Amino acid sequence: MRRPLDAGPGFGRRPLLGMSPRGAPLWIGMLVGSLVTWTVTELPYVNWHPVASPLEASSLIIRQDAKGDGRFLAPRSGGRRHQGIDLVADLHCPVRAIRSGTVVQVGVHRGLGRFVELEHRQHLHSVYAHLDEVLVEAGARVRQGTQIGTVGKTGNARHRWITPHLHLEVVRDGEPIDPQSLGLPIAEPVASRLVTRLAGDSGHEQGGE
Ligand SMILES: [Zn+2]
């Protein structure tokens, strides 16, 4: 076949399937559509920080009181180890999601009290315990920094000698990890060390979840 002078490079090929009326391939329209849909639905759930503070305090302080040590893997009664960290907090102050995720469990546990469990990407879960109020329901999606509840003294934190705190647990691939390894800035609990030492001397058992 003779090639007309004004024929473009596509002359002689089979027409592309799925051309839009204006001639732009349909897949471009679909791609743009999916990108817009993704942006509208997923952008709010982007984690702008590797980890957001679960409390509004300017610095996070680990619980060290007469009933125990709130550090990760601190000894607990019955040979157990503390699976999270205890962050000192005022009662009823907001508790926020450290990363975007889905609420997988809201419940009451003997030790943890009222708690919320979130599932995040990369096989990460976070648990917020001893809560007073819970503001989310199972199945809900939450954004990083969303308030999910308030600090309480439920579960075994109800003891009057236990400083009000948030028990924060982070689990990766089923194994508890130190939440500080995600980059939470924790202040050294200098002032309260004496209290712990005195408590240790007097033979108090390590308590609290
Ligand atoms: Zn704890």
The CA 30 to ligand 1 mean position distance, Å, reads: 49
Residues 111-137 have pLDDT tens digits of: 999 999 999 999 999 999 999 999 999
User: Is 60-201 in CATH node 2.70.70.10?
Assistant: yes
The dihedral built from the CA positions of residue 186, 187, 188 and 192, taken in this order, carries a sign that is negative
Q: What is the C-alpha to C-alpha distance for residues 183 and 170, in angstroms, rounded to an integer? A: 12
The CA 208 to ligand 1 mean position distance, Å, reads: 6
Query: Comparing 114 with 188, which gets the higher pLDDT?
Result: 114
Residues 34-76 have pLDDT tens digits of: 999 988 888 999 999 899 999 998 789 999 988 889 999 999 9
Q: Which residues surround ligand 1, an ion (CB under 5 A)?
A: 86, 167, 209
Q: Where in the chain is the domain with CATH 2.70.70.10?
A: 60-201
The CA 145 to ligand 1 mean position distance, Å, reads: 21
The CA 168 to ligand 1 mean position distance, Å, reads: 7
Note the pTM of the prediction, 2 decimals.
Answer: 0.78
Secondary structure in 3-state letters for 40-91: HHHHHHCCCCCCCCCCCCCCEEECEECCEECCCCCECHHHCECCCEEEECCC
Q: What is the mean pLDDT of the chain?
A: 85
| pLDDT for the residue numbered 1 | 46
